């Protein structure tokens, strides 16, 4: 299966599996990150929004803002629209967004960047659609310190795959999840990618000793 087929196949169990494989902690990380964002933003976009959990948190923070969630999986978006009917969800490819230049104040990517084909292409698109001084925020699996890294691989290939087999009746999509984490750049590498593509690096926030890592960047006024 390709990436789109994987996410369409897991859509109906996505929220339940997120709770299980994160031991009910993923919502805490999302909320903590949203609290770090500046107030009074008008136009917000949530890329790779899945079933809309982060999109809804952004709407709760920015109640009067235009908040849009985008994803390439129609089945994920069907669930998001049922859960949050007052939020605008758009089906599109994050590597080629159907929005004008300088359209958004905040661009969020939550647990999605590791699933795209070309990270730099997506970051360039984020830069294009953000207004000058706009905020790009990413949160995803990180690279924990050596001690905790000893337990991460058995957890990803053992517990996560087993949970997929039991609760989703198919472990293959969750083996993909484990593999995607292995090839995903470390936070320090992501920082360099952001800077290379026109962003000033503002802040990094790690959770669970680095197993989860968030980065906040600001679009440069002039990108040479």
Class of domain 3-219 (CATH, top level)? alpha beta
Instruction: Specify the pLDDT at position 181.
Output: 77
Indicate the pairing of strand 66-71 with strand 43-47.
Answer: parallel
Taking 80 as the threshold, does the pLDDT of residue 12 lie above it? yes
Model confidence pLDDT, tens digit, residues 58-106: 999 999 999 999 999 999 999 999 999 999 999 999 999 999 999 999 9
Instruction: Specify the pLDDT at position 164.
Output: 64
Taking 70 as the threshold, does the pLDDT of residue 222 lie above it? no
Q: What percent of the chain has pLDDT over 90?
A: 67
The residue ranges of every structural domain in the chain are: 3-219
Model confidence pLDDT, tens digit, residues 32-59: 999 999 998 999 999 999 999 999 999 9
> Binning pLDDT at 50, 70 and 90, where does residue 21 land?
confident
Model confidence pLDDT, tens digit, residues 186-215: 999 999 999 999 999 999 999 988 889 999
Instruction: Specify the pLDDT at position 163.
Output: 66
Residue 133 · residue 218 · CB < 8 Å: yes
């Amino acid at each position: 299966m390709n990436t789109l087929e994987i996410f369409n196949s897991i859509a109906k169990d996505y929220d339940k599996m997120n709770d299980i494989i994160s031991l009910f902690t993923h919502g805490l990380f999302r909320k903590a990150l949203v609290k770090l964002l500046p107030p009074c933003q008008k136009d917000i976009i949530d890329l790779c929004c899945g079933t809309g959990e982060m999109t809804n948190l952004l709407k709760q923070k920015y109640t009067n803002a235009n908040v849009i969630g985008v994803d390439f999986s129609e089945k994920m978006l069907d669930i998001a629209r049922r859960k949050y009917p007052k939020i605008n969800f758009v089906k599109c490819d994050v590597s080629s967004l159907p929005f004008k230049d300088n359209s958004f104040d905040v661009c969020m990517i939550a647990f999605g960047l590791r699933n795209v084909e070309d990270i730099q292409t997506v970051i360039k698109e984020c830069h294009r659609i953000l207004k000058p001084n706009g905020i790009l925020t990413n949160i995803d699996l990180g690279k924990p310190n050596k001690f905790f890294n000893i337990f991460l691989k058995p957890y990803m290939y053992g517990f996560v795959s087993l949970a997929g087999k039991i609760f989703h009746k198919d472990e293959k999509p969750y083996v993909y999840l484990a593999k995607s984490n292995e090839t995903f750049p470390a936070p320090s590498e992501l920082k360099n990618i952001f800077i290379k593509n026109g962003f000033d690096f503002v802040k990094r926030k790690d959770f669970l000793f680095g197993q989860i890592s968030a980065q906040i960047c600001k679009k440069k006024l002039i990108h040479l």
